[in-house]
Amino acid sequence: MTLLDLTPRATSAERVSTLPVAIIGAGPIGLAAAANLVERGIDFVVFESGERIAASVRSWGHTRLFSPWKHLVDPASARLLAAAQGWEVPDPERAPTGAELVDEYVAPLAALPQIASRVRLGVEVLGVTREGMDRTRTRARATTPFSVRIRTVDGVGEDVSARAVIDASGTYLSPNSLSSSGLELLGMADIADAVTPALPDVLGRDRGRFAGRHTTVVGAGHSAANTLLGLVELAKQEPGTTVTWLIRNAQAVRVSSSADDELADRARLGSRVDQAVADGQIAVLDGFEIIRGRRSSGHVELVGHRRGEVVEHATDVVVNATGFRPNLDILREIRLDLDDIVEAPRRLAPLIDPNVHSCGTVEPHGFRELTHPEQGFFIVGMKSYGRAPTFLLATGYEQVRSVAAWLAGDVASASQVELVLPATGVCSTDLSADGGGCCS
């Protein structure tokens, strides 16, 4: 005789509710999401591809942020830190470097037991889907757990089930192309070893790469400005160091020095670049549309169109400061609703369009504007802005507070979105790939 198993089985919805929320990225926004979930009593797991917390921020840690400390700390994170160790916000009116942000705030937050126990470092997320479903299957989709495919540093693959997914992976690792077309630059493979990502440590770690050489910085945003000023200082110390600023627009000065900018460090940055250009310390090559890169007589040559003519520009090192774009490859099996132009969530895009808005004029927004057809899936932080360069950390913190409230079923709190940003009506409003990161 066969005995029947009469043990009550959990429904799909009941099983989903027992699973953790998967957070992709252990930077400031991903960890803020974790802190808000801690306060809500919701379990989670954080996947970070780097070997250390906030790996991307550490890459540009020598760079000073524009925002002062008072705009850089998530309220829920501050409460957890204060409760655990009496932590207080460092000098509220001072803007820290990226390294200081990590060392004095992000790393201590990640070290809190209720967060540290749920962070997995050195884990790359390869894809997100629903268990047993590609994006074409609809039946019971909303009650089916997410499945996050990961790969550890030793190459081991694993599928992790989750009740919801918060993608806070950022955009630093997916820069825009040097090519004005947006496609990979023709000849990139031949010159790749001479191209460096945005915000190299010109005066420190990467000094040897630039000393005594001709460097061309491509891009018209504040990331480019930081590098230009570092190179100007290096040129004073290292003979033979020269600097060219290559931009695609007809006007060279894209970095504002407006007195109306409440982010004073950013205004000062613009003034210093203006002066360096006026003094001849930075050569400006404007209106240059790059179409190809190649090697020539021991140099790198950028070939492009300038004022209707084909021109060539020889240099030794190229810094790609053309901005960033979201990496959407891991989301191929997720049903997304993205704006056709900036690749941000469709409801969010009109609020952040850099043709209309600067950092300080972006309206507060939360879970509603971040919602996709895939219920329970959210892109937050810099990645939620797609190709728009108007992101501020304070905005991302409000995003994850609202999302966490929604996941907890507190729709009233999730819907009450409030945020006061500094007046920054001075950002670049050109959506070309030239700028990138006016508020980064």
Over the stretch 245-292, which tens digit does the pLDDT of each residue have?
999 987 654 454 444 444 555 567 888 999 999 999 999 999 999 999
Structure tokens, 122: 């050195």
Mean pLDDT for 112-136 is 98
pLDDT in tens, 17-76: 899 999 999 999 999 999 999 999 999 999 999 999 999 999 999 999 988 999 999 999
State residue 277 phi and psi, 5-degree precision: -65, -45
CA 170 to CA 32: how far, in whole Å?
14
Contact at 8 Å (CB) between 284 and 277? yes
CA 276, CA 225: separation in Å to the nearest integer? 11
Asked if residue 205 lies in contact with residue 216, where contact means CB atoms within 8 angstroms, the answer is no
CA distance 392 to 414: 20
Taking CA atoms, 387 is separated from 288, 303, 343, 376, 425, in Å, by 21, 25, 6, 23, 19
Q: What is the pLDDT of residue 278?
A: 95
159: Cα separation from own chain's centroid: 25
Max distance between CA atoms of the chain, in angstroms, equals: 95
Tokens of 13: 């919805």
Q: What is the pTM for the complete model shown?
A: 0.90
pLDDT tens per residue, range 210-220: 999 999 999 99
Query: What one-letter code names the amino acid at 415?
Result: S
Give residue 66's identity as a one-letter amino acid code. Answer: F
Q: Name the segment(s) of the chain with CATH classification 3.50.50.60.
A: 17-173+325-415, 188-320
- pLDDT beyond 70 at 14: yes
- What's the DSSP call for residue 142? G
| CATH number 3.50.50.60 is the correct assignment for the domain at 188-320 | yes
Query: Token pair for residue 428?
Result: 């670049």
CB atoms within 10 A of CB 363: 14
Establish how many alpha carbons lie within 13 A of residue 349's alpha carbon, considering only the half-sphere containing its beta carbon: 15
Q: What sections of 168-285 are H helices per DSSP?
A: 188-191, 207-210, 222-237, 264-278
Distance of alpha carbon 15 from alpha carbon 184, whole angstroms: 44
Instruction: Quickly count: other Cβ atoms within 10 Å of residue 226's Cβ.
Output: 25
The CATH number of 17-173+325-415 is 3.50.50.60
pLDDT (average), residues 385-399: 93
Residue type, 296: S
Better-scored residue on pLDDT, 389 or 182: 182
The two three-digit tokens of residue 239, written as one number: 């003979």
